[in-house]
Chains A and B, each alone.
Chain A
Amino acid sequence: MDVPALALVGVHKNFRQGGRQIEAISGLSMQVQGARITGLLGPDGAGKTTLMRLAAALLWPDTGIVRVFGHDSRDAAAAIQADIGYMPQRFGLYEELSVHENLVLYADLQGLGPARRKTRFDELLQLTALGPFGGRRAGDLSGGMKQKLGLACALLRAPRLLLLDEPTVGVDPISRRELWSIIKAMRAQGVTVVVSTAYLDEAELCDDIVLLHAGKLLVQQPPAAFHAPLSGRCFSVRHPGIRRRRLQESLSSRDGVVDALVQSDSVRVVLQGDLPPRQEGEAWQPVSPRFEDAFVSLLAARAAGAQPAGMPAAAARPARDPAPDATVASPATVLQPIQSDDAARDRSAPVIEVHELRRRFGSFEAVKGIGFAVQRGEVFGLLGANGAGKSTTFRMLCGLLPATSGTLRVAGVDLRRARAAARARIGYVSQRFSLYGNLSVAQNLAFFASVYGLAGERRRTRLDWARQEFDLDAYLDASAVELPLGFKQRLALACALMHEPWILFLDEPTSGVDPLARREFWQRINQLAESGVTVMITTHFMDEAEYCDRLVLMSLGEILAFGTPQEIRARVRTAAMPEPTMEDAFIGLIQAHEAQTRRAA
């Protein structure tokens, strides 16, 4: 039978948000063929979730037709929903119910007979390794386990089409790897899978990529087809005398460079043509292109044509701003005064010191006596699987949570016990970019300026700086809640930097933000670090770990590894894996540690 699993013909879908009409899907026509994994990619707000909901017949198209295995979603929603498995972004689990009770509920709803139920449960519990947790409440599971349970619920009746909406957001690399092995197993059984994701490395695992932008189909082809036009345009650049971040900055400002990215010990560069703008001392080595290169160059090309109303595009920056180091508005120069204030301070003196830090919640020890030190001007990463204790550590450092025992000093004081003035030295961006949603952008900026005690001339210059540096002028009167995610992130960063802090705390500042916004974000962080600001960051993106000067890797409340990215990667280097990535290192180290802990217990 040649009926496509999913077919859209001329679909339009509008939503009303506030008083405005938003076009989520605009004239989309596409098909998904059976028994393949189709990845749905696109920047934030491209219409991925809307497309998923249209396919699940949870939304009707305004115009056009959506067909699933030939059924029209308007007439035959019941038939469609009998054929699909759908996992929404928040997994759709009942938190009060146990793992087993959730499975029973969805088995009942999907009409899975009692006869087949037992074997199916066993199969899925084995597949997801949730067997030992059958009695645990879903609300008590870690993010990765919730995601696997959500998937198991969607898979109960072996659907013909599996729809997964950003299943890997906020999930650690190990869980992501496990999830993908399940997805591949499903494909082997003939299930069609449509998965949306913000992780570009996951795109390589798909058979087919649908790239969406502003509700329109940009391109639909296999990942390999994306690489082809880029062959000969991708290089790995090294310079023995220059630090990677400096090198990256220099490279990204040169003509003809589309994208420059720190990767392992070198900088990965994508060119417009195939002629490298080589400079003295640099070693340019051609590398094979990957999906991310294609994604960025495709979107950057679009964004460059549509500035500034388009999306935040770091790659488009050089064209507008040829020499970032020299501009007055860049944080590097504005932050200068602090640097000179502290010129007397020893650059190597630690800014953050942690010693024998412990935190107990009841009988559970979340952080088990860890210690490390962070130098001034460092970008310091805090990594770990879900539930490794990194958030707890982070909150203790910011002074949001008291430590059970141990010492911790940030900028020379314990923030929890310090006088309020000491907190003026830090800036903080929380996981969800917590801003006052119903205050406007300008009101948020003014509020944080006042709270940090800025007044008079300084207040005026800093507010001007924030508006210009983060391109917020167009949104000044918009409520923060209505901003696109990338702009929320910018505003959160602007508020945290308003008072020129010595130390910047960033808690998963890029989760859910699209790759282009992430690039721009990291460019700023690098500039800040170069100007002497210490940056403490937690993240789930392993490629972002490469940007850190040093990092700690946590598991089960302990520090597994501590050092530069190179040092950490080197720990898992073997003959079989001569060039391990950060993700390999992460997974290898954590699995070894967990196994060791189990053996000990």
Chain B
Amino acid sequence: MNRLRLRGLVRKEFLQILRDPSAIAIAFVLPVFLLLLFGYGVSLDAHHVPLAVVVDQPTAQTSDFIGSLQQSGYFEPRYSPSFKVARDALMERRVSGIIWLRSDFSREMLAGKTAPVAAWLDGVDANNANIVQGYLLGAWQNWLQLQADEAGYALSIPVRVQSRIWFNPALRSRDFLVPGLIAVIMTLIGALLTALVVAREWERGTMEALMASPVTMGEILLGKLVPYFLLGMGGMLLSVAMAVWLFAVPLVGSFWLLLACSALFLLVALGMGLLISTLAKNQFVAAQVAVIVTFLPAFILSGFIFDIHSMPAVVQFLTHVVAARYYVAILQTLFLAGDVWPVVLGNSVALVLMATIFFAIARRKSRKRLD
């Protein structure tokens, strides 16, 4: 390893980054773009869900019930003259569900029987329907309790669930999406950018000139690694800053630990990028491969949005080779739970292992020859 040669390569790479807007765009503009898009565009928290309410015989009890739905903040009840009208509204997507209080609602209730509250939900968006159903259940139980309190009788519910939500008590989906997104962004910067810039050297014939000079293959690889490592860390800091200050995601764990783990993951991503670049020597193919084998898995198989436990066994097994999986776990923990060492250490070991393997293969595969 020759300091002079390495310095020359690193300086060249930085000059290229500075003068080529596309590298800057991928490292800094893309993170901002994605964070804004996800931060504002993606939310699993339903609020003001429009509900059509059909009341056959309005009474004090029915308006009391509807009022409690409104007060929960999750619903926006709209009175509908008949069930048929309500159903049409649902079909046209003007409402997400229907509440039907039949004519015997008050009578049954006052007679001490169990009055039925019929609810229909649009099940097309199953996840949303599930969440809305949960809200509805909660609102209903609150109302029951209120009724009991007002009437002064004890509500006879055999078992009552008392839930305590750790780490994200308000269950804000943004708080878990934004940290996870950092993993996706870092994958893009690390793997895609590295694969592209190496492929560019092949395409333009500069790799041939480099190889014919006394520089060693290790120096060429390291000369790529150092600049894009720094660039990636820059993109990471930008993302964290946006997460904390713009989206108000709490950073409970230590910043330095976050920095260290991010550095480790970035190494893995860079290793993947270098490995891709040894196989794909033009930018078009490199971009395709990078998106398919790094970006997509980081998006879907990392636990960033979709829960890994719920996947089929085969797919779960596959997620073990997705580096972003380990990093997403670390990120969500450090941001929301704090420095939980078992999580951080266990996943870091996996990352170290993957980094070692990727670099070993990349080093073996890249020979200082053209064939």
Contacts and interface: CB of A to CB of B under 8 A. Distances in A.
A–B interface present (Cβ within 8 A)? yes
Nearest to B18: A96
DSSP class of A's interface residues: helix, strand, loop or mixed? mixed
Contact of A96 (B7, B8, B16): B16
Interface string B212-226: 111110000000000
Interface string B1-26: 01011011101100110011000000
A588 interface: no
Nearest to A95: B204
Interface in B216-275: 216
B62 to A, nearest CB: 71
Interface stretch (A102-110, A256-264, A357-365): A102-110
Contact of A60 (B205, B210, B369): B369
Contacts of B130: none
> Which has the most chain A C-beta neighbours within 10 Å: B19, B20, B209, B214?
B209
B369 A109 contact: no
Contacts of B215: 109
Contacts of A153: 209
A90 interface: yes
Given A58-B370, A88-B205, A92-B205, A108 B15 contact: no
B209 A92 contact: yes
DSSP class of B's interface residues: helix, strand, loop or mixed? helix
B369 A59 contact: yes
Contact of B370 (A59, A78, A104): A59
A183 interface: no
Nearest to B367: A60
List of 9 A-B pairs having minimum Cβ-Cβ separation, nearest first: A92-B209, A108-B8, A90-B205, A86-B212, A96-B19, A109-B213, A88-B208, A56-B212, A82-B214
Contacts of A78: 214, 216
Contacts of B213: 81, 86, 106, 109-110
Interface residues of B, number: 28
Given A58-B211, A77-B368, A106-B213, A93 B5 contact: no
Given A53-B370, A96-B16, A96-B20, A109 B211 contact: no
A468 B178 CA distance: 66
B57 interface: no
Interface size class of A (residues with CB under 8 A): 35 or more
B16 A97 contact: yes
B370 A109 contact: no
A153 B208 CA distance: 13
A89 B205 contact: yes
A77 B368 CA distance: 9
A109 B5 contact: yes
Given A77-B368, A108-B9, 9 more contacts: A58-B370, A86-B213, A87-B209, A89-B205, A94-B12, A96-B15, A96-B19, A109-B8, A109-B210
A150 B212 CA distance: 13
B8 A105 contact: yes
13 contacts: A58-B368, A58-B369, A60-B369, A88-B212, A89-B205, A91-B205, A91-B209, A92-B209, A96-B19, A96-B20, A97-B16, A107-B8, A111-B5
Interface of A: 15, 53, 56-60, 77-78, 81-82, 84, 86-97, 101, 104-111, 137, 150, 153, 163
Interface string B343-371: 00000000000000000000000001111
Contacts of A93: 206, 209
Given A58-B369, A88-B205, A108-B7, A81 B16 contact: no
Contacts of B212: 56-58, 81, 84, 86, 88, 92, 163
A150 B205 CA distance: 12
Contacts of A111: 2, 4-5, 214
Contacts of B15: 94, 96-97, 101
Contacts of A81: 211-214
A35 B55 CA distance: 104
B214 to A, nearest CB: 5
A91 to B, nearest CB: 8
Nearest to B12: A105
Contacts of B210: 92, 109
A107 B9 CA distance: 11
Contacts of A109: 5, 8-9, 210, 213-215
A104 B206 contact: no
Nearest to A114: B4
A62 to B, nearest CB: 10
A33 B216 CA distance: 28
Nearest to B17: A96
A58 B215 CA distance: 13
B197 to A, nearest CB: 11
A91 B209 CA distance: 8
Nearest to A93: B206
A27 to B, nearest CB: 19
B204 A90 contact: yes
B199 to A, nearest CB: 15
Nearest to A92: B209
A94 B201 CA distance: 9
Contacts of B205: 88-92
> Which has the most chain B C-beta neighbours within 10 Å: A77, A78, A93, A107?
A77
A90 B203 CA distance: 10
Nearest to A87: B209
Contacts of A108: 4-5, 7-9, 11
Given A96-B15, A104-B8, A111-B4, A86 B209 contact: yes
Contacts of A88: 205, 208-209, 212
Nearest to A150: B209
Contacts of B9: 105, 108-109
> Which has the most chain B C-beta neighbours within 10 Å: A86, A94, A95?
A94
B367 to A, nearest CB: 9
Contacts of A90: 204-205
Contacts of B16: 94, 96-97
A136 to B, nearest CB: 13
A101 B12 contact: yes
Nearest to B203: A90
A86 B208 CA distance: 9
Contacts of B211: 58, 81
A15 B209 CA distance: 21
Contacts of A60: 369, 371
A107 B8 CA distance: 8
Contacts of B216: 78
Contacts of B204: 90, 95
Nearest to A79: B214
Interface in B61-95: none
A93 B204 CA distance: 8
B350 to A, nearest CB: 37
Contact of B214 (A105, A110, A150): A110
A390 to B, nearest CB: 25
Contacts of B370: 53, 58-59
Contacts of A56: 212
Contacts of A95: 204
B11 A58 contact: no
A15 B11 contact: no
A478 B7 CA distance: 47
Contacts of A15: 371
A153 B8 CA distance: 14
B166 to A, nearest CB: 51
A153 B206 CA distance: 12
A59 B209 contact: no
A90 B206 CA distance: 8
> Which has the most chain A C-beta neighbours within 10 Å: B2, B7, B15?
B15
A598 to B, nearest CB: 30
A107 to B, nearest CB: 7
A141 to B, nearest CB: 15
Contacts of B209: 86-88, 91-93, 150, 153
Nearest to B211: A58
Contacts of A94: 12, 15-16, 206
